[in-house]
Structure 1
Amino acid sequence: MSRYADRSRELGAFVRERRNRLTPAAVGLPAGVPRRTPGLRREEVAELAGLSVGYYTRLEQGHAAHPSGSVLSALARTFHLSSDEERHLRALAGEDVSRPGGVAAPERPSPSGLRLMSLVVPGTAAVVLGRTGDVLAWNDPARMLFPGRLPEPGTDPGPASNNVRYVFQCPEARSLFVDWAAVADDTVAHLRSAAGHLVDDPAVRALVQELIATSPDFATRWTRRDVRERVTGEKRLNHPTLGRITVTYDVTALLDTPAQWLVIYSLPKATRARDAMVGT
């Protein structure tokens, strides 16, 4: 089987899911008679996108390999995709794939990420994330900020160091994040975005299969095929030792190592929580 088969099937599923989300009113079509299924019909999407019904049907079924850039642009316009969702669509179609091989070597933290992490001001938490959300390097404030996630710096991390496992499998995360449901939504949407580029990566496939099998909350969100990439924001924490705090985060891609990111978590100055972090 072609190594593009999984990618084509996922592309078809993503397109089908987006068709089911569209309503006639959203695209200026009359409602007409009641519909037995949600969303638009294939014929309607094909007409809106300027495609033949047969080709669009093959696309949804995962049998239309390598759709052209113009086809992808037409689909993005028809489905009203966000910029993150359009990038995901194009990645599934084989554009801008950062890792061409199907088997990935074990990850090592980016050298530039390690250097940047050593330069953060005292009290600032920092982690280097790998392609599936594994924490590859971290400092002591990061260990303090996320209870149950990370061991002492310099020791081997456990399964909970992974972003998605921490959110969905660790009881500490459920009580730590004030807006756990929103954090869970963003976590899955970010993994789905990464999976678009790494759909044939065995590590991604194994992580997704594990979480579908062990977490109904993850499985439900995964089927939505939401796609988002947060590069800055804030998280409200109900921390067991620091109390109720809000941390801001910023995500920077590390250009010397594909699919790795440096994440910086900052606390407001002149707070007791930040003073405690400085003392770590």
Structure 2
Amino acid sequence: MPADVGLIEGPPRRTPGLRREEVAELAGLSAGYYARLEQGSAPHPSESVLTALARILRLTADEERHLRALAAGPGSVGAGLRADDAVPEQVSSSALRVMEMLKPRTAAIVLGRIGDVLAWNEYATRLFPGRLPTEEQHEAGRPNNARYVFCDPRSREIFSCWEKVADDTVAHLRAAAGHLVDDPGFRGLVDELLAASPEFAVRWERRDVRRHVSGEKYLNHPVLGRLTVDYEVLAVLDQPDQFLVVYGLNDVEIPESAATS
């Protein structure tokens, strides 16, 4: 709000927040240049401009990373693939080795740049029955995290806090958008979900940007009932856009039959 940054409040506003001219003034920019930045027609902003905007807009760390990724533009380090650069995503060999080292009863999956599940271990199939295909089904296409949450009714049954999972899924996808702006797989996934799920569309318009690197999942497991599962999200260095997600089951034994429940 204006008062929060030392501006006079003035008459009531139709919408909350700062006006474009006020943001420009506080950042030391001309209103015209700031308008061009918003429209994507100005040259790449300098480090000082990005720092000023992040401070004035009070961006979170995730939001600031998203801003800088967008400012970097296509073709720069960390930017998304252009349509003619698209190649099938190869699973991280480091993540596969780590999964082999995990102690028994630890579930793990490898997520790709747009949330495709690239690899998983046996306990992941038991923890999330129906989410991960058999080896034969996997050949037909990789499962996707966001598609599962919004298009598979089983996700609403297994996630006891489905609304929060849905919020986090879209915010995480938004956080990736800055690096994947020209990635055809990303654009195709978003278009598909916008058409298929009004609940996704509502959340996408909120423009929340957030990554969760640890936390808890609350599950209604068809065999074991209510479960609280800790998880950690780990980046892998040999494939920078991939993540290894490890779920701690606290030595809970999930029978093999649970994978098909």
Partner of 1:92: 70
Pairwise CA distance, 1:55: 0.5
Residues 183-233 of structure 1: CA distance to partner in whole angstroms, max 9, x if unpaired? 111111111111111111000000011111111111111111111111111
Structure-to-structure mapping, 1:168-187, within 5 angstroms: 168-187=150-169
What secondary structure, in the 3-state scheme, does the structure 1 residue paired with 2:178 have? helix
Q: 1:157 to 1:172 in 2, by over 3 A?
A: farther
Query: Which whole-Å CA distance do the structure 1 matches of 2:65 and 2:235 have between them?
Result: 16
Structure-to-structure mapping, 1:206-217, within 5 angstroms: 206-217=188-199
Partner of 2:130: 148
The percentage of aligned residue pairs carrying the same residue is 62
- List alignment gaps of at least 5 residues for structure 1: 1-22
Asked if 1:268 corresponds to 2:228, the answer is no
Asked if 1:37 corresponds to 2:15, the answer is yes
Partner of 1:52: 30
Pairwise CA distance, 1:153: 4.8
Pairwise CA distance, 1:181: 1.0
User: Which fold has the larger relative contact order, with Cα–Cα distance below 8 Å and residues 6 or more apart in sequence?
Assistant: 2
Asked if 1:134 corresponds to 2:116, the answer is yes
Residues 40-96 of structure 1: CA distance to partner in whole angstroms, max 9, x if unpaired? 211111111111111111111221131111110010000001111101100000177
- List alignment gaps of at least 5 residues for structure 2: none
Structure-to-structure mapping, 1:184-203, within 5 angstroms: 184-203=166-185
Do the aligned partners of 1:129 and 1:135 also contact (CA within 8 Å) in 2? Answer: yes
Query: Which whole-Å CA distance do the structure 1 matches of 2:15 and 2:182 have between them?
Result: 31
Q: 1:201 to 1:46 in 2, by over 3 A?
A: same
Partner of 1:257: 239
Partner of 1:77: 55
Query: Which whole-Å CA distance do the structure 1 matches of 2:239 and 2:40 have between them?
Result: 31
Asked if 1:167 corresponds to 2:167, the answer is no
Partner of 2:219: 237
Partner of 1:220: 202
Q: 1:154 to 1:262 in 2, by over 3 A?
A: farther
Asked if 1:28 corresponds to 2:10, the answer is no
Partner of 2:43: 65
Do the aligned partners of 1:174 and 1:180 also contact (CA within 8 Å) in 2? Answer: yes
Structure-to-structure mapping, 1:95-106, within 5 angstroms: 97-99=77-79, 101-102=81-82, 103-106=85-88
Do the aligned partners of 2:219 and 2:226 also contact (CA within 8 Å) in 1? Answer: yes
For normalisation by structure 2, the TM-score amounts to 0.91
The aligned amino acid for 2:233 is V
Do the aligned partners of 2:20 and 2:34 also contact (CA within 8 Å) in 1? Answer: yes
Q: 1:171 to 1:101 in 2, by over 3 A?
A: closer
Q: Mean alpha-carbon deviation: is it higher for 94-103 or for 202-211?
A: 94-103
What secondary structure, in the 3-state scheme, does the structure 2 residue paired with 1:65 have? coil
Aligned length: 254
Residues 112-153 of structure 1: CA distance to partner in whole angstroms, max 9, x if unpaired? 111111111111111111100000111111112112211235
Q: Mean alpha-carbon deviation: is it higher for 225-234 or for 146-155?
A: 146-155
Which aligned runs of 4 or more in structure 1 are off by greater than 4 angstroms?
Answer: 157-160, 277-280
What secondary structure, in the 3-state scheme, does the structure 2 residue paired with 1:241 have? coil
Do the aligned partners of 2:27 and 2:56 also contact (CA within 8 Å) in 1? Answer: yes
Pairwise CA distance, 1:179: 1.2
Q: 1:117 to 1:148 in 2, by over 3 A?
A: same
